[in-house]
Amino acid sequence: MTEFSRFTPLVRSLPATVPFVGPETQERAAGKPFRARIGANESGFGPAPSVKAAMREGADEVWKYGDPENHDLRSALAAHLGIGMDRIVVGEGIDGLLGLVVRQIAGPDTPVVTSLGAYPTFNFHVAGFGGRLVTVPYRDDYEDLEGLLDAVKREGAPLVYLANPDNPMGTWHDGETVAAFAEALPEETLLVLDEAYGEMAPPSALPPVARLIDRPNVIRMRTFSKGYGLAGLRCGYAFGAPGTIASFNKVRNHFGVNKMAQIAALAALEDQAYLESVCGRIDAARQRIGEIARANGLEPLQSATNFVAIDCGRDAEFATALMGALVERGVFVRMPGVAPLNRCIRISVGPDEALDIFEAELPHALAAAS
């Protein structure tokens, strides 16, 4: 016997895969660490000193399970957003919350709409629950809202995913346009609005919280992984209408958000001054990445995230070769996975030391790729 015989037909049909090849995997294969880790959209600036202090103080409490109701964090988020606690659910990062949404909506052959080349973990969950992905190509490196709406109506899809600002391209639609898209959806279609990069975007990129909060078919998701610098702790949250949020309690892992994540996220939320300072550093790093790209004959895309997609000016083969040449030189970067987005490489912001290495190695990597 090579495999247990009672896995479901769906599970047996799926490949054993991970949506992302982590830098650790590549480091193990190469037998050495990366010199510059600027590919995973993490915050190389790290969490606030106040957060680190709270974690040190809370270390003695990790023998306890985390509060299954996430009460203190939800209370603080409610005050931060100006909404009731019953409108907020906390989970193991946006990735975990996406899985819970898909579990509640998608069954075998359920049509689910997303953009072709958008965040792959959402697709991973859809496949895991047997849904049928319906994809809409990007338009000029932006998610095509009109195309997404047409696909929802054509397929009768009960679920549609939109990231704004976008991953992997870093582009964004203004909040008014996104709100109009949400309001144009059929009432029986649930919009998952992924706002993971919202803190580092222009304020006009996000619809006001009150604009969509009472729509039962809209769930907005945010995270402590990006601007707050807590990617390794896995903590995110979703907010929306009370009935929609309450449904998460039917399926979520109630002890999934660990004690340390709750402590750190609460402290991070309380230190908005640090978040503001990090967003300033992110903006400066985006500008520097753009300058490095242009100095080497490449074109950066305008970004509202903590990364910059760089148009390599050729095809996916060249972009792949360039990414590989950077990796060989100890610079961890990534690239989008489908055409025409895959003519780009994607550089995460980071401290000056990391960008110094990228700046020094990019000309050599370009020469090797050519």
Spatial separation of the C-alpha atoms in residues 148 and 140, rounded to whole Å = 15
pLDDT of residue 99: 98
CA atoms of 96 and 173, how far apart (whole Å): 25
- Residues 142, 256 within the same domain: yes
Helix (H, G, I), strand (E, B) or coil at 91: strand
The total domain count for the chain is 2
> What are the angstrom distances between the C-alpha of 114 and each of 132, 160, 174, 242, 350?
11, 6, 19, 25, 29
Question: Does one domain contain both 237 and 89?
Answer: yes
Based on the fold, state whether residues 125 and 32 are members of the same structural domain: no
Residue 296 lies in a domain: yes
The pLDDT mean for the chain works out to 97
Let me know whether 246 and 343 are in one domain: no
According to DSSP, residue 303 is labeled -
Q: Is 27 left (phi over 0), alpha (psi -120 to 50) or beta?
A: alpha
Q: Let me know if residue 358 belongs to a domain.
A: yes
Cα separation, 370 vs 319, whole angstroms = 10
Last residue of a domain, one of 270, 305, 324: 270
CATH number at residue 303: 3.90.1150.10
Of 290, 315, 316, 292, which is closest to residue 301 (Cα–Cα)?
290
The answer to whether 281 touches 45, Cβ cutoff 8 Å, is yes
Domain boundary among 252, 270, 288: 270
Residue 344 lies in a domain: yes
Query: Residue 265 belongs to what domain range?
Result: 49-270
In a domain, 12, yes or no: no
Same domain, 176 and 145: yes
Are residue 125 and residue 229 in the same domain, yes or no?
yes
Q: Are both 186 and 114 inside the same structural domain?
A: yes
Residue finishing a domain among 270, 297, 320 = 270
Q: Which of 100, 84, 129, 126 is nearest to 249 (CA)?
A: 100
pLDDT in tens, the chain (370 residues): 577 889 999 998 998 887 788 899 999 999 999 999 999 999 999 999 999 999 999 999 999 999 999 999 999 999 999 999 999 999 999 999 999 999 999 999 999 999 999 999 999 999 999 999 999 999 999 999 999 999 999 999 999 999 999 999 999 999 999 999 999 999 999 999 999 999 999 999 999 999 999 999 999 999 999 999 999 999 999 999 999 999 999 999 999 999 999 999 999 999 999 999 999 999 999 999 999 999 999 999 999 999 999 999 999 999 999 999 999 999 999 999 999 999 999 999 999 999 999 999 999 999 999 9
- pLDDT for the residue 1: 57
Examine residue 62 and state whether it is found in any structural domain, yes or no: yes
Give domain status of residue 315, yes or no: yes
Q: What is the largest CA-CA distance in the chain?
A: 59
| Whole-angstrom distance, CA of residue 192 vs CA of residue 198 | 14
DSSP 168-218: TT-----HHHHHHHHHHS-TT-EEEEE-TTGGGS-GGGS--HHHHTT-TTE
Say what the pLDDT of residue 16 is: 87
Characterise 313 by phi-psi region: left (phi > 0), alpha (psi -120 to 50), beta (else): left
| Residue-level pLDDT at 19 | 79
- The CA radius of gyration of the chain, in Å to the nearest whole number, is 21
Measured at the alpha carbon of residue 140, what is the angle toward residues 115 and 161, in degrees to the nearest 5? 20
| Residue 310 and residue 325 share a domain | yes
Q: What is the pLDDT of residue 21?
A: 85
Cβ atoms < 10 Å from Cβ of 137? 14
Q: For residues 199-235, b (16+ Cβ closer than 10 Å) or e, as one string?
A: bbbeeebbbeeebbbebebbbbbbbbbbbbbbbebbb
Residue given tokens 């110094």 in the structure block: 356
Establish if 351 belongs to a structural domain. Answer: yes
The verdict on 177 and 35 lying in the same domain is no
With respect to residue 5, please indicate whether it lies within any of the assigned structural domains.
Answer: no
CATH of the domain at 144: 3.40.640.10
Angstrom distance (rounded) from CA 362 to CA 347: 11
Q: Which helix (H) or strand (E) holds 114?
A: strand 111-115
Question: 326 and 227, same structural domain?
Answer: no
Q: Which residue has the tokens 């988020």?
A: 77
Residue 249 has what DSSP assignment?
G
> Are 95 and 163 within one domain?
yes
Q: For residue 220, what are the β-bridge partners? A: 193, 239
Place of tokens 């702790």: 233
Question: Which residues, listed in sequence order, are joined to residue 300 by a DSSP beta bridge?
Answer: 310
pLDDT tens digits, 188-209: 999 999 999 999 999 999 999 9
279 CB-near residues (< 8 Å, 6+ apart): 199, 200, 227
Instruction: Please indicate, yes or no, whether residues 238 and 289 belong to a single structural domain of this protein.
Output: no
